[in-house]
Amino acid sequence: MNYLVAHNRMAREMDQVFNSLFAGKSHQYHNGDCFTPRVNITETEDNVSLTIEVPGMDKGDIKVTVADGILTVEGERKVENKDNGKNFIRSEFSYGKFCRSFTIPDNFDAGKVSADYKNGLLTVSLPRKEESKPKQVEVKVQ
């Protein structure tokens, strides 16, 4: 778990570095070709869950894959091209493609990864392998 948290923290810090380099083009960055959805990572004894903010998307526009120990979530939020006579004064919604990748440690069962999309949140569950779950041993006092 610590590796997933560290990987996410490093990705977020790298995003901040690149965003600061292109600070003058923030409007183009946010409404241009790509965006980076935010991720919360939580854990229990049985699994680790990634909850990813992707509001306004259809589940068919989101792809979750696991290959070679890497969990990848990618998709595209498309700009609505409705000509209803409105002119934007300001547009802060993020559109475009995104791709987030996370290394899955060996103690997780990559074959049992599941994903659920509801109310703009994609939740990906990574179950722990049975042998890696914490075990409680009863101590007998004699």
Asked, for residue 15, whether it belongs to a domain, the answer is yes
Average confidence score pLDDT of the chain: 78
Reported confidence tier of residue 138, pLDDT bands at 50, 70, 90: confident
CB-CB neighbours of 98 under 10 Å: 19
Asked, for residue 50, whether it belongs to a domain, the answer is yes
Asked, for residue 34, whether it belongs to a domain, the answer is yes
Place of tokens 């049992």: 112
Nearest to 50 by CA among 107, 106, 101, 119: 101
Percent of the chain whose predicted confidence (pLDDT) is above 70: 70
Asked, for residue 135, whether it belongs to a domain, the answer is no
* Segments in the chain forming alpha helices (H): 2-21, 26-31
- C-alpha 68/C-alpha 33 separation (Å) is 27
Look at strands 114-118 and 39-43 and give their pairing.
Answer: unpaired
What is the domain-level CATH number for residue 109?
2.60.40.790
pLDDT tens-place string over residues 100-127: 999 988 888 888 999 999 999 999 999 9
The lowest-confidence range among 17-21, 35-39, 40-44, 53-57 is 17-21
Entry pTM: 0.66
Asked, for residue 141, whether it belongs to a domain, the answer is no
Q: Which domain holds residue 28?
A: 2-79+91-129
Asked, for residue 137, whether it belongs to a domain, the answer is no
Asked, for residue 138, whether it belongs to a domain, the answer is no
Domain tally for the chain?
1
Nearest to 32 by CA among 42, 40, 22, 41: 22
